[in-house]
């Protein structure tokens, strides 16, 4: 599995990352969602460089232009609900893509721990397709692994791009250990060293889903 960390190369992405982390800017949910949306667009542009293109003839008013176009649109998959805003940014760029939605959540136990529960998936066939699976935060890595495994119930993708904005180092290590397929690329904006006992990334940014869509009652 190849790992690409976009934040290692300075770009406008750094500005967006700074804003989604900033506690004073986080008080504006619209701004927070917009930044997730824009970050999704940045990832889509970078991932597009890895996709296959074919040359086609395009009729212009003055002649025929030979233009490279995508050989195949990817399928955009996301883990509800935190991934929605970022997913929309990816969809803005890959505007003809098919879509896949995965429902997974933290189910807390009496001892204060939790496990990831998979509930539902709506997806087209994924056979021989490129899939981009996005989730803004890669904390323990378990949600992303569950999402990745769920994809194969709908077919065998030709390549899977896993996309998270901020990851813990533990999350990177977990995914590297548990997903060893060669046709997988892990895309990250930044990697933070810490994580709390409740699997929140430190310094991270908090709960991306709550910041984007409001606080929720945790499942017991």
pLDDT single digits (tens) 126-161: 999 999 999 999 999 998 999 999 999 999 999 999
**In this structure, what token pair is assigned to residue 216?**
């929720």
Looking at residues 202-207, what average pLDDT do you find? 94
Q: In terms of pTM, does the model score above 0.85?
A: yes
User: Residue with structure tokens 């995965």?
Assistant: 102
The alpha carbon of residue 219 and the mean position of all alpha carbons in its chain are separated, in whole angstroms, by: 23
The alpha carbon of residue 35 and the mean position of all alpha carbons in its chain are separated, in whole angstroms, by: 14
Largest CA distance in the chain: 71
Is residue 119 within 8 A of residue 90, CB to CB? The reply is no
Say if residue 219's pLDDT is above 60: no
Say if residue 192's pLDDT is above 80: yes
Domain boundaries, the chain: 2-213
pLDDT-derived band at 81, boundaries 50, 70, 90: confident
Q: Decide: helix, strand or coil at residue 9.
A: coil
Assigned fold of 2-213: Rossmann fold (3.40.50)
pLDDT single digits (tens) 82-92: 889 999 999 99
Q: Cα(177)–Cα(166) distance, rounded to whole angstroms?
A: 19
| DSSP class per residue in 99-121 | EEEEEEEEEE-TTS-EEEEEEEE
Q: Cα(137)–Cα(207) distance, rounded to whole angstroms?
A: 9
């Amino acid at each position: 599995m190849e790992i690409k960390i976009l934040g290692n190369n300075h770009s406008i992405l750094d500005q967006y990352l700074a804003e989604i982390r900033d506690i004073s800017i986080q008080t504006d949910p619209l701004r927070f969602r917009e930044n997730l949306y824009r970050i999704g667009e940045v990832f889509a542009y970078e991932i597009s460089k890895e996709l296959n293109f074919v040359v086609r003839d395009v009729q212009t008013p003055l002649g025929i232009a030979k233009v490279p176009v995508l050989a195949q649109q990817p399928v955009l998959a996301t883990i509800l609900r935190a991934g929605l805003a970022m997913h929309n940014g990816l969809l803005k760029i890959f505007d003809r893509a098919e879509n896949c939605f995965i429902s997974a959540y933290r189910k807390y136990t009496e001892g204060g721990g939790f496990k990831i529960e998979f509930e539902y998936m709506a997806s087209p066939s994924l056979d021989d397709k490129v899939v981009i699976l996005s989730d803004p935060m890669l904390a323990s890595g378990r949600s992303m692994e569950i999402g990745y495994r769920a994809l194969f119930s709908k077919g065998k993708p030709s390549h899977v791009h896993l996309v998270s904005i901020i990851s813990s180092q533990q999350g990177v290590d977990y995914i590297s250990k548990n997903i060893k397929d060669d046709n997988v690329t892990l895309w990250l904006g930044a990697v933070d060293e810490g994580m709390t006992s409740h699997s929140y990334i430190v310094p991270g940014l908090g709960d991306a889903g709550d910041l984007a869509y409001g606080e929720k009652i945790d499942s017991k």
